[in-house]
Amino acid sequence: MTGEAEKSPLASYSLESLANVLERAGFRRFRAEQIANWYYDKCVHEWSEMANLPAGLLRWLDENLLLASSALAQVHDSGDGAQKLEIRLADGETVEAVLIRSARRLTLCLSSQVGCPLCCAFCATGAGGFSRNLAAWEIVEQAVHACRVAGERVTNAVFMGMGEPCLNIDAVFDATRRLNASYAFRIGARRITISTLGDPDCIDRIAEFPLDVSLAVSLHAGDEKLRRRLVPAAPAHIEETIEAASRYFKRTGREVTYEYVLLAGENDSPDHARVLGRLLKGRRAFVNLIAYNEVEGLAFRRPSAEAVERFRSTLAATGVRAHVRRSRGRKARAACGQLRLHGGKGRASPRPHSGPPGNPRARGQNAPARGETAPARAEDKTRGQTAPGRAEDKTRGQTAPGRAEDEARGRRSGPRGGRRGPRAGLRGSREGPRGERGGPLSRDGDIQDYETRLMVRFAGGNDSAFDEIVERFQGRVFGIIHRYIGNSEYAADCAQEVFLRLYRMRRSYRPEARLSTLIYRITANLCLNYIRDSRKHRTLSLDFAREDAPSIDLPAPGEATDVSAGMERREKARIVRAALDEIPPRQRVALVLHRFEGLSYKEIAEAMEINVAAVKSLLNRARNSLADRLQSEIENGNI
């Protein structure tokens, strides 16, 4: 048995490295994917909840790995859709992350350091001092805790929490790969934003990063003198930062977002707006204006709404696009610039159970040295071990810990795995201190899933509930249809048909299945009917009208151009579209739901009304078909 202090956290392993460790311990490699599904997709709290793993493997995991090295200390609810998570690390340090919920997305604001060494004059995080960088797995565990709190998977991630990501960029990159990985959180690369004060070398590294992540640069001033007063530790001259951001745009084609905190009487006048406009004129730029969130003990004040609007309109008159970002989380001190200095003053929720019971490391004991990198000790310890009696084979027929308890609750568990309902445990209820999960109905018949409750309210005659359903789902439905058929006009009409059918069935609706699954099923059936009727395979457009859509942006007047790069991206997109158009319709449906929408095998099976094995077969055939069709293009160097 490995001592608690020597155990490695599960989040420190990639899927491949976890499979290697399991294989050396005498277990089969495919178990790594099952463990990852339980951890990242269902966000379980204990090893025993992994119901389709044999008892021998569960014992080995408990003895050799930590399900989490950190613990969720407290959750502060601001009441406006924002929740601040206080996370206690293994060495007793505390970091904060923020969940921000809106109609069509769930965004997680991640911290990259414990504190911040840059000490911006107006920021609470820097005022609290700096302790150390976070390891990649400690960043990943923030997303796991967020999943447990929200009851669903995060859709967007921004590195705008505590710390300067560029001072810990290697760990940020490693965590970003995990956030994007198909076996983990499956957050699209363009839905991940790295924010920085503007170190040119770091911005160049972000531009070269294989994943197409978004970049946000914190300016807060339009000239060097004022910026140095507000951000004394700015890593470069403001002109060098802007030039690096322009290089990022030319290399990636992705527009840069500039963050600008408005401080009353400091940088919020029309003259300041004109200076900023001259700095950014002729560049592809979008400015996020943030009215200052006041911090106790600091002299800066929040500007009036009139001053904010005057600044925005003056900046827009110079030709620079700008948007005033809504501040959320202020009551819980979770808004921009407020992290760490205080505990939240909003409504505090009791700390959920996190990590295996009796795990001293999850409570901050047995702390690693500051700055310690991801431990590989558990992996090293397993080398040379004898397979534990071929634990997996010997445990066949045994009941895994916790399985009898699940069966007593009336839920199916076993080798085919999992509980009833699409992605069981994500959107379900939490009952009791352990947060037991189920479908949309709890054991006493109460509806726990918010979207399902909306549909039930609408079925009872509440029309405003239906309006909210449409608002929550219309973007996703349009995106799915557009990906299938590549026709935006028909996609809009078809999306209306989806909600029309939902409206017609309101009287017969029963909440046995989740509303999201029902909507995906209607959408998939409509698209399949269109494909069959049209008798032509123009179905998957990679460029469609959504904010995270790939785009080829034209440079602004007076800006240097790199037309060849844009044309190369267009040609690659054309080649991939042509290959996708040749895939049979049902394979294409499964591929879009899995790869672009991030649905699990079980969700796809329910949406397409087939079993999980058929879904896997469709996806395998789709991948093989794509590989065959793209092989010649790859050999010719076109991709």
181-202 pLDDT tens trace: 999 999 999 999 999 999 999 9
For residue 257, list its beta bridge partners: 216, 286
As a whole number of angstroms, the distance between CA 35 and CA 50 comes to 7
Nearby residues of 459 by Cβ (< 8 Å), 6 or more positions away = 506, 507, 509
Instruction: Give me the catalytic one of 336, 392, 597, 606.
Output: 336
User: Are 67 and 36 within 8 A, CB to CB?
Assistant: no
The question of whether 336 is a catalytic residue gets the answer: yes
Instruction: Give mean pLDDT, residues 83-106.
Output: 89
Percent residues over pLDDT 70 in the chain: 68
| Closest of 206, 214, 209 to residue 259, by C-alpha | 214
**DSSP code per residue over 12-79:** G--HHHHHHHHHHTT--TTHHHHHHIIIIIS--SSGGG-TTS-HHHHHHHHHHEES-SSEEEEEEE-S
What pLDDT does residue 351 have? 38
Provide the angle, in degrees to the nearest 10, between the axes of the packed helices 305-317 and 270-280: 40
User: What are the structural domains, with CATH classification, of the chain?
Assistant: 4-68+371-397 (1.10.150.530), 71-258+328-344 (3.20.20.70), 452-549+563-635 (1.10.10.10)
- The band of 341, judged by pLDDT with boundaries at 50, 70 and 90, is very low
As a whole number of angstroms, the distance between CA 154 and CA 132 comes to 26
Q: Out of 288-302, 304-318, 549-563, 598-612, give the one with best mean pLDDT.
A: 304-318
What pLDDT does residue 345 have? 40
Question: Does the pLDDT value for residue 620 go beyond 90?
Answer: no
Lowest-confidence region among 58-67, 370-379, 490-499: 370-379
CA angle 139, 288, 158 (to 5 degrees): 10
Half-sphere exposure (Cβ direction) of 313: Cα atoms closer than 13 Å: 6
- 3-state secondary structure at position 179: helix
As a whole number of angstroms, the distance between CA 206 and CA 213 comes to 8
What pLDDT does residue 446 have? 53
Residues in the chain, how many? 639
| Closest of 227, 226, 195, 223 to residue 279, by C-alpha | 223
Question: Does the pLDDT value for residue 275 go beyond 80?
Answer: yes
Lowest-confidence region among 26-30, 56-60, 213-217, 491-495: 491-495
| Closest of 588, 610, 501, 600 to residue 538, by C-alpha | 588
As a whole number of angstroms, the distance between CA 402 and CA 405 comes to 5
Question: Does the pLDDT value for residue 47 go beyond 90?
Answer: yes
- The band of 485, judged by pLDDT with boundaries at 50, 70 and 90, is low
For 293, counting Cβ atoms within 10 Å of its Cβ (0-12 exposed, 13-18 middle, 19+ buried), the class is buried
Instruction: Give me the catalytic one of 49, 93, 96, 164.
Output: 96
Region of 340 (left: φ > 0; alpha: ψ -120 to 50; beta: rest) is left
Q: CA dist 18 to 58, 147, 384, 418, Å?
A: 14, 21, 16, 21
Instruction: Give mean pLDDT, residues 453-457.
Output: 77
What pLDDT does residue 525 have? 80
The question of whether 96 is a catalytic residue gets the answer: yes
Residue 263 has which token pair? 């401080």
- Compute the mean pLDDT over every residue in the chain, rounded to the nearest whole number: 74
- 3-state secondary structure at position 355: coil
What pLDDT does residue 385 have? 42
136-182 pLDDT tens trace: 999 999 999 999 998 888 999 999 999 999 999 999 999 999 999 99
